[in-house]
Amino acid sequence: MSIENMLVNRGKAYGNFYENASTIQHLKEVVFEHAKDWNKMQPDVRQALEMICTKIGRILSGDAGHVDTWEDIAGYAVLVADRIKGDQAWAGTAKTVEATKNHLSPKGKMGLAQMG
């Protein structure tokens, strides 16, 4: 797919980029202005809130029926909630990351160059 085609498809889903960016920036300004101790929040909380603002901006500027955007919002919230709860899903993710690191290490069976 060409970049031009990709941009046309994204425009259909998310609306005009300039308008979308403006909406998202306004949403983030409200969040930053009203957040108590923004800089003391964990990085995943701050990032999730920023990404959720991005997704809300896309909903407001584009196709509110674009299901991926709604699923993304839910996904960011679940990632933070799992970390906060110390949920097994978070522990499982950490184990998967560690196993992947071990697998890709020079001592592991497959190096990065061997991955296709």
Residue whose C-alpha is closest to residue 70's, from 80, 60, 83: 60
The pair of structure tokens assigned to 42 is 């964990």
Between CA 26 and CA 68 the distance in angstroms is: 22
The pair of structure tokens assigned to 77 is 């919230």
The confidence score (pLDDT) of residue 59 equals 96
> What pTM was estimated for this model as a whole?
0.71
The confidence score (pLDDT) of residue 80 equals 94
- Where are the chain's structural domains? 3-85
| Mean pLDDT, range 63-69, rounded to an integer | 95
The confidence score (pLDDT) of residue 92 equals 61
